[in-house]
Structure 1
């Protein structure tokens, strides 16, 4: 009876013993060459490398990882994998980490706290060397204990958690939002609505801080009914935008926090036949080329996702090298376009 493939699959695997025999050297010599040890002669290196090439030998990285106590993998946990900004951040981080010999495991938490907790448990089982994470919430009960007990370095993306031994990449959202709100006020707008995600995360708190500072500087009373915080997704922003325009005192400007929120708000405005830049001023926090299909020339507050990825990778490598946790600040830039210009009926 012929052998089953899954039973015979590993029998012809080329091993380090085969390489040593082919090169006519000791196994320890092969090991030193493959690990890049400096105490190896050029002649020895050439013999081993020639044997490796002839045999097609591939090192068993899992076995090496178990011996070293490291897996050369970094866990990258994204709150919402459908958000294009996060895909750019992850790609940039992966590019930097790959140059240092690390690969990443990308995982999505779907904006769900239970899923996020399970993801951290998965990373712990996989014995990853570090985690870069965009947390769903900063004040959920398990966060500090779970991360501190992970046994691996952690870099947070746009999150602040007190009592946590972690580094963080923080964007200065307040600066960009303050400039955007001040520009709207200068152009004659006073009823400026703000729609964004959860208020228990740094990014929303920081954005609201800039928004309220600009209103305060202009001596405009803050109207809590114009501030709608809840979820970062399209549906929440869509519903809140519809609700904002169902009352008697309508907003004449709208700031939306994040790609999902901006998309949902723009869809709602389209259904309501309200045109950004003509019937209402509009500022999107974060940019996405697809916005041009919904409304052209949108004003925006920009944060560089590639820089966020580079900084998160740098902070991770610093932690792996046992440097102290630190913080990198990425600026935000207000980019005014026609959607925030002055309207005659503002």
Structure 2
């Protein structure tokens, strides 16, 4: 295996010059840089990443702590984060919190110990001790993505679903649904509380009530969606439509509806927050609110790299949209619409 001394010998320069070229130091003549890089290529030299990080105080690695790797939304988010980070010259180390605050803090601590350059976090709750401490100390640049912790001076890259929820309620109302229930996510998460509040306000605009028995507490997991739906269907006056504020809870709701021999949307309509490709292939295809997940991940990486490299990082708010299919009693070819921006049919 070639060493840095071999590269210096091949290029006819000092080891220090090779080091400056590899660390992209500006004080190197273009012809010298070209000669060194040619020697690196011909010898197949690979710098020792650990040694380089000790010299430059950078690892070119970002940490990403997501709430649930099994949730398709976070899987897609992680993919876009990796793609954008790689394009900017960074690698990504991922930690899955599995919606557990203690496990989340474990990953944050481990990533900081590994000397990552910056941290992206989608918090599992409203006040994680390790995240709060890291944000207030300011030693590791951090950006919140999707979810955030109020009161911390950390840039947030998120999606505002308020307008899309209002569009969904208008859509359900136009289809004749009046008894509409919601499967809520954890109230301690910003997304959990925000989506329910947007839903409640939208119902109010149409003079529709939201009785206590039509609000079921879930945890962004499929099992909770099924459990809450069972409670709704056992009511003396069950809802005509159910809005699940997360894709996994929507799948759990669909399982419970089918297990009772009922049909979507004939017996009960179903809609979801967080569109996923699977929803296009269920029977019937699910009407859902889609987040621009790819852009969410890319924007979060750009904001974090700005912080790492000494530039001002700003919070970013993107907009969700309603994708109409056939799970709420729609007619027509809604099930034929695709998942991409070019082919999805969204409500205006």
Alignment TM-score, normalising by the size of structure 1: 0.89
Q: Which runs of 5+ in 2 are unaligned?
A: 332-348
- Distance in 1 between residues matched to 2:141 and 2:204, nearest whole Å: 40
Decide which moves more: 247-256 or 332-341: 332-341
1:247 lines up with 2:250 in the alignment: no
- Distance in 1 between residues matched to 2:294 and 2:165, nearest whole Å: 20
Q: 1:82 aligns with which of 54, 70, 75?
A: 70
1:69 lines up with 2:57 in the alignment: yes
Q: Displacement of 1:210 after TM fit?
A: 1.7
- Distance in 1 between residues matched to 2:134 and 2:183, nearest whole Å: 31
Q: Displacement of 1:162 after TM fit?
A: 2.7
Q: 1:201 aligns with which of 189, 205, 208?
A: 189
Q: 2:200 aligns with which of 212, 225, 235?
A: 212
Partner of 2:39: 51
1:261 lines up with 2:249 in the alignment: yes
1:92/1:140 CA distance change after superposition, 3 Å: closer
Q: Is the 8 A contact 1:176 1:210 kept in 2?
A: no
Q: Secondary structure at the match of 2:28?
A: coil
Question: RCO greater where, 1 or 2, for CA within 8 Å and sep 6 or more?
Answer: 1
- Distance in 1 between residues matched to 2:310 and 2:25, nearest whole Å: 22
- Distance in 1 between residues matched to 2:144 and 2:31, nearest whole Å: 47
- Distance in 1 between residues matched to 2:130 and 2:234, nearest whole Å: 39
How well do the aligned residues superpose, as a CA RMSD in angstroms?
A: 2.0
Q: Is the 8 A contact 2:108 2:130 kept in 1?
A: no
- Distance in 1 between residues matched to 2:142 and 2:34, nearest whole Å: 40
**1:13-51 Cα shifts (integer Å, max 9, x gaps):** 432122222333221222222233343334433432343
Q: Displacement of 1:54 after TM fit?
A: 3.4
Partner of 2:219: 231
1:101 lines up with 2:102 in the alignment: no
Q: Is the 8 A contact 1:158 1:168 kept in 2?
A: yes
Q: Displacement of 1:342 after TM fit?
A: 6.8
Q: Which runs of 5+ in 1 are unaligned?
A: 1-12
Q: How does 1:1-346 map to 2 (within 5 A)?
A: 13-149=1-137, 151-341=139-329
Q: Is the 8 A contact 1:258 1:285 kept in 2?
A: yes
**1:82-105 Cα shifts (integer Å, max 9, x gaps):** 111112111112222212111100
Q: Is the 8 A contact 2:122 2:147 kept in 1?
A: yes
Decide which moves more: 72-81 or 266-275: 266-275
Q: Is the 8 A contact 2:160 2:319 kept in 1?
A: yes
Structure 1 or 2, whichever has the larger Rg, is 1
Decide which moves more: 50-59 or 325-334: 50-59
The number of residue pairs the alignment matches comes to: 331
Alignment TM-score, normalising by the size of structure 2: 0.89
